[in-house]
């Protein structure tokens, strides 16, 4: 057989293989999209998930909670504190506003690598009241400043995180939620001692299929109506479960 015919035959097989791979990939993407494991950044609320929420801080400015609730928002994680001294100036009004609008609130604490866990717990407890029906407290474990390039040693993080978790669990009567990026999860939360804590993980667009998780933050770039802050964007989240499971999740009352 002439060499050119052999080359054509090989090329044909390669093209057939490429076509099959494209079909398989397209089918996989379509399946994930159909099941709700691929969500577009502006999708609010996503049809395949029963429980939908946002997370907010002072950057969203004054929040009109009935307007947010009217867009399908079932829950909101609200920034309360950061480190051992900072408290979000809009936390109290956001907390009471969410409750009044029927949006189930949860308070989150931005974790600091620079102060003891006990002092961070004191800061959070001073800001966040015991509230029947609220979501468990959240510890937001990500990177900032110099730690973006040089993450702290896991042993140091554990020495701060563990007493913070213990104190919040004892005070609020429920296990806190751990918020993580892929990077912070892999560095600090893969140990067996953290497996019983609910996980809220950031994974834009594609669901975190390789991790156990309870909440999925799928968008950092959405726009909804109902807030007037300097930050026009808002984060979107879903709960992994039914409305009935959500109602009983994390309740200590």
Same domain? 138 vs 116: yes
Residue 29's H or E segment, with its range, is helix 3-34
Same domain? 242 vs 151: yes
Instruction: Please write the tens of the pLDDT for every residue from 197-206.
Output: 999 999 999 9
Which structure tokens are listed for 17? 């293989």
Question: Is 203 a member of any domain?
Answer: yes
Instruction: Please write the tens of the pLDDT for every residue from 73-94.
Output: 999 999 999 999 999 999 999 9
For residues 230 and 59, is the Cβ–Cβ distance under 8 A? yes
Does 34 score more than 90 pLDDT? no
Domain of 58, in residue numbers = 43-248
Nearest CA among 127, 148, 40 for reference residue 78: 127
Cβ count within 10 A of residue 211:
16
* Contacts for 18-26: CB closer than 8 Å, 24+ residues apart: none
Question: Is 253 a member of any domain?
Answer: no
> Cis before residue 45, ω within 30 degrees of 0?
yes
Question: Is 119 a member of any domain?
Answer: yes
Which structure tokens are listed for 16? 């057939």
Please tell me the total count of domains within the chain: 2
pTM for the model stands at 0.91
Same domain? 23 vs 84: no
Taking the C-alpha atoms of residue 99 and residue 233, their distance in angstroms, rounded to an integer, is 22
């Amino acid at each position: 057989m002439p060499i050119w015919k052999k080359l054509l035959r090989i090329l044909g097989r390669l093209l057939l293989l490429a076509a099959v791979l494209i079909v398989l990939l397209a089918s996989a993407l379509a399946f994930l999209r159909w099941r709700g494991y691929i969500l577009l950044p502006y999708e609010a609320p996503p049809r395949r998930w029963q429980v939908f929420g946002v997370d907010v801080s002072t950057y969203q400015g004054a929040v009109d909670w009935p307007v947010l609730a009217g867009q399908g928002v079932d829950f909101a994680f609200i920034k309360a504190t950061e480190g051992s001294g900072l408290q979000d100036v809009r936390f109290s009004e956001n907390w009471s506003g969410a409750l009044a609008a029927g949006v189930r609130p949860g308070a989150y604490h931005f974790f600091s690598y620079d102060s003891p866990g006990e002092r961070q717990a004191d800061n959070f407890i001073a800001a966040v009241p015991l509230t029947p029906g609220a979501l468990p407290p959240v510890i937001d474990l990500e990177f900032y400043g110099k730690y973006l390039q040089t993450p702290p040693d896991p042993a140091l993080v554990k020495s701060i995180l563990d007493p913070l978790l213990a104190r919040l669990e004892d005070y609020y009567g429920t296990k806190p939620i751990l918020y993580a990026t892929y990077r912070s999860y892999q560095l600090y939360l893969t140990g067996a001692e953290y497996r019983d804590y609910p996980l809220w993980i950031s994974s834009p667009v594609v669901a975190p299929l390789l991790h156990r998780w309870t909440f999925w933050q799928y968008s950092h770039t959405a726009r909804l109506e109902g807030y007037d802050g300097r930050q026009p964007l808002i984060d979107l989240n879903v709960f992994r479960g039914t409305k009935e499971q959500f109602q009983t999740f994390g309740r200590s009352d």
